Amino acid sequence: MRVEQIAVFLENKSGRLAEITSILAENNINIRALAVADTADFGILRLIVDKVDEAETALKEKGFTVGKTMVIAVEVPDRTGGLAEVLDCVQKIGLNVEYMYAFVNKTGENAVLIFRFDDMTRAINSLQENGFTILESSQVYNL
């Protein structure tokens, strides 16, 4: 139910993002989803990739600070209001979202929401009880 996400510390320097994507490309690692959170001074790049451990090793070798975090991937049917339904539910249950980002899968049929909650177990249980589909990690890595 949980998906491993890679987070990379970004000094606020242009070219860092390109450097990271090319390191991953050289190592035949595919990026499934990517989001950058940043401040005036630094940023954090969050990545879902198909080969988590290889990506971590490759980036660390090049001197990046890398961490791994567990996140949840929620599948949202591609219809009007699909996204709103998930967010409404999250709010109603009172789940505390640390951060989230979204991407659309290859076929373009469904959107996938990546969530990090402070209480992951409760989040998984309550979302499932409310009928939402939470993807297995293998499904996400191979999207």
Q: Check residue 142 for interaction with another protein (CB under 8 A).
A: no
CB of 113 or CB of 132, closer to another protein: 113
| Of positions 14, 26, 41, 79, contacts another protein by CB under 8 A | 41
**CA-to-CA separations, 30 to 25, 51, 96, 123, 126, in angstroms, rounded:** 7, 8, 30, 28, 31
Contact residues for 43 (Cβ-Cβ < 8 A; gap 6+): 10, 12, 36, 37
Q: Check residue 32 for interaction with another protein (CB under 8 A).
A: no
Q: How many CA atoms lie within 13 A of 38 on its CB side?
A: 16
| Of positions 37, 84, 87, 97, contacts another protein by CB under 8 A | 37
Q: Which two tokens stand for residue 31?
A: 């990026």
CB of 102 or CB of 105, closer to another protein: 102
- Cα–Cα distance for residue pair 79/98, rounded to 1 Å: 26
Of 103-122, binders to another protein (CB under 8 A) are 116
Q: Which residues form the interface with another protein (CB under 8 A)?
A: 5, 7, 9, 11, 37-39, 41-42, 44, 46, 60, 63-67, 69, 98-99, 116
